[in-house]
Structure formats: C-alpha cells, structure tokens
C-alpha cells in the first residue's frame, strides 16, 4: 500500500514507514530512549530528503514525548523550574539550529554536516554504552553494578553551586547556578534542529551526572522540556524551511506508539545489560553505515540541491 507524502513529494510504502516507526518505538520502549536519533537516519536511508526527515521527526517527537511527560507530570516527577531554564536554552538553541539548517541547505552541505554530527555523536554514545554494558556483564553481579553507579557522586555539580545566577530547584532538591542547565539546553536545542532528535540520551545523563538531579526527576523533567523544545523546532521548521510533513509524522507516531508498548513488555523479560549491549550494537552499526556514506565514493557525484527557501 503506497501513500503519497505531500511535503516530501514522494510516494512511500505505508507499511515500511509504520514498520520503521514501530521498530524505533519498540527500541525506545525497550531502552527507555526517545529514539529520534535512530529515526532520522533510517528515514534518510529509505530516501526521505534529510531536511524533511529531521523536521518531521521533530514533529513526531512532540507527540511521543507528550504522552510520557503527561504520565510523569501526574506522578510529580517534573521539575518545572529546571525544565523552564533548560527550555529557555533549548528555544535559544533551536532557533539558532533552524537558521543553521537554512544556511547549510543553501550551501548544499546540510546532509554532510548532519552525517558528521551523527557519526561523532552515535559513535561516542554507542561505544560508551558498549564498554559500560560489557563491563557490567563481566562483573555479572548486578549488586556490584548498582553500588558502583551510586558511588560516583557528581563532582561537577559542586562546581556549579559556586557559579553565579544561583536558583533554588525544589523538586530536584538543588540550589545551583542556572548557567549550566541553560547551556546544555542550548546545545541540545541546536542538535534537535540539526538532527531531528529529542536529545534525551544526552540530556538525562547530563542532568543526573553533571547537574546532580535525582534520576526519576531527570527523566520527567527531560520529557517535559523535550515536548516544548521539539514543539519550538517544529514551529521554526514549519516557518523557515517549510519541511514538516505532518502525514509522515503521524504515520511514524502510529507505528512508534504501538512499538513502544511491545518494547516495554519485552524490556521486562531481558536483563538491563543485555538490553544496553543490544542498543550499543545497533547504534554502532548505524554509525559505521553513516561513516561509510561520508568516505566511500558516492554513486552520483552530481545531486539535486534543495531550492532556495525549500518547498516549491
């Protein structure tokens, strides 16, 4: 069954899109990550123009994260104050990012920059996870692992308490400088626009290990800010680049929500380190594929550049 995507301007197999959405949803349910960082490269692989892939994924993330954020909000896991500071950075960064996309598209190297950033980021995340989960498996005793994690007190967090612009973050039980949450919000905002990702896989570790927030508050707050950051990116992409394919986003969403439910079920049957090593392998395979795209001689040296201003 083919479906015509109006903004991408192409017809695609409906089941292929919903299947990819389902696969990413399954993985995100299994691993507890947003999955945006897997979705955009997969969309590009099946031939969706990179700018449309990134913009539509942002739109899809708004939906995926809002359901999670809603659940956490009811459980009281959202630190709104922290979320808003990060959000301020995220909106600032997202706006820069969208303008950056515009410039890069005009220069014809958007795809190149996107892939380089992906390779670096996925490479780092993938290898870190791989090493960490291998270590955990070797230790083979889950008790030792949790003890180790708890022992690593965030050292940077102490430094931030000495910086200016201090604020009280009640829900997180912190009294720390607002500069760092703002800065990390900015970085993730730029990446959200550039890559079409929510940024949770960077934000959550940063909030736990660097800012020093409790894990559950970090996840809840992260989801809350992802909804708003991705909403901002979606708006900006719609205004500036006109590349949001709502139809594509909705099909992805349908696939990913169903997949996420099955992923969560499967997650209960597998051990944590097995899950993580699986995710690490997927991420590394994707990294290698993207890296090869950059260094192998392309089939076509001449390619179509998006018209100025995108769209028509």
Partner 1 sequence: MKRLRLFLLAGCLVGLFWGEAQGITPEARQKVITAASKNLIEIGLSYRGDQIHFFGVNPVPGSDLIIRLTAEKDEEIKLSVKGRVGPFWMTVKQYEVTGAPFMYKIHASKPIDRIISADTARELEIGYPAVRDRMKMHLSRGTATPEDADKVFQGLIKIKEKGNLYNIVEDPQRLEITEGKLFKHYFRFPPAATEGRYLVESFSFEKGELVGYGKDVIEIKKVGLENWLTETSQNSPVFFGILAVLVAVSAGLGVGMIFRKGGHH
Least Cβ distance, residue 190 to partner 1 (angstroms): 19
Binding flag, residue 239, partner 1 (CB under 8 A) = yes
- Complex with partner 1: residue 58 or 172, whichever CB lies closer: 58
Binding flag, residue 101, partner 1 (CB under 8 A) = no
CB atoms within 10 A of CB 141: 9
As beta bridge partners, residue 82 has: none
Phi and psi at residue 246, to the nearest 5°: -60, -35
Q: How far apart are CA 196 and CA 40, in angstroms?
A: 6
- Complex with partner 1: residue 207 or 227, whichever CB lies closer: 227
Is residue 174 helix, strand or coil?
strand
Q: Which stretch binds partner 1 (CB under 8 A): 65-73, 84-92, 133-141, 148-156?
A: 65-73
Binding flag, residue 10, partner 1 (CB under 8 A) = yes
Is residue 175 helix, strand or coil?
strand
Residues 193-232 that bind partner 1 (CB under 8 A): 219, 223, 227, 231
Binding flag, residue 67, partner 1 (CB under 8 A) = yes
Is residue 217 helix, strand or coil?
helix
Binding flag, residue 49, partner 1 (CB under 8 A) = no
Count Cβ atoms within 10 A of the Cβ of residue 175 and give its class: 0-12 exposed, 13-18 middle, 19 or more buried.
exposed
Binding flag, residue 59, partner 1 (CB under 8 A) = yes
Q: How far apart are CA 298 and CA 7, in angstroms?
A: 26
Structure tokens at 132: 């960490």
Least Cβ distance, residue 108 to partner 1 (angstroms): 4
Binding flag, residue 107, partner 1 (CB under 8 A) = yes
Give the dihedral sign, CA 195/197/201/204.
Answer: positive
Residues 133-192 that bind partner 1 (CB under 8 A): none
Q: Which residue has 């990116």 as its token pair?
A: 233
Binding flag, residue 65, partner 1 (CB under 8 A) = yes
Distance of CA 137 to the CA centre of its chain: 26
**Interface with partner 1 by CB under 8 A: which residues?**
1-4, 6-7, 9-11, 28-29, 32, 59-60, 62-68, 70-72, 107-109, 112, 116, 219, 223, 227, 231, 234-239, 242, 244, 246-247, 249-250, 253, 257, 260-261, 264, 294-298, 300-308, 311-312
């Amino acid at each position: 069954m083919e479906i015509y995507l109006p903004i991408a301007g192409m017809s695609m197999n409906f089941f292929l899109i919903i299947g990819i959405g389902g696969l990413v949803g399954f993985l995100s349910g299994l691993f507890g990550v947003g999955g945006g960082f897997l979705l955009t490269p997969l969309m590009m692989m099946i031939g969706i123009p990179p700018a449309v892939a990134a913009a539509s994924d942002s739109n899809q993330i708004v939906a995926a994260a809002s359901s999670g954020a809603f659940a956490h909000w009811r459980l009281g896991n959202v630190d709104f104050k922290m979320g808003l500071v990060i959000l301020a950075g995220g909106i600032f960064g997202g706006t820069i990012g969208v303008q950056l996309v515009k410039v890069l598209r005009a220069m014809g190297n958007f795809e190149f920059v996107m892939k380089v950033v992906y390779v670096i980021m996925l490479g780092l995340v993938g290898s870190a996870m791989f090493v960490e989960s291998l270590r955990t498996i070797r230790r083979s005793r889950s008790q030792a692992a949790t003890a180790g994690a708890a022992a690593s007190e965030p050292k940077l967090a102490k430094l931030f308490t000495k910086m200016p612009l201090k604020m009280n973050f009640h829900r997180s039980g912190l009294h720390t400088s607002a500069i760092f949450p703002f800065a990390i919000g900015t970085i993730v905002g730029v990446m959200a626009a550039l890559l079409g990702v929510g940024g949770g896989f960077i934000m959550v570790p940063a909030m736990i290990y660097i800012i020093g927030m409790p894990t559950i508050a970090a996840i809840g707050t992260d989801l809350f800010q992802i909804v708003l950051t991705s909403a901002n990116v979606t708006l900006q992409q719609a205004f500036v680049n006109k590349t949001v394919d709502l139809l594509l986003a909705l099909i992805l969403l349908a696939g990913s929500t169903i997949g996420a439910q099955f992923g969560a079920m499967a997650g209960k049957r597998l051990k944590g380190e097995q899950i993580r090593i699986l995710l690490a392998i997927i991420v590394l395979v994707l990294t290698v594929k993207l890296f090869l795209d950059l260094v192998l001689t392309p089939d076509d040296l001449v390619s179509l550049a998006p018209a100025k201003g995108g769209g028509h």
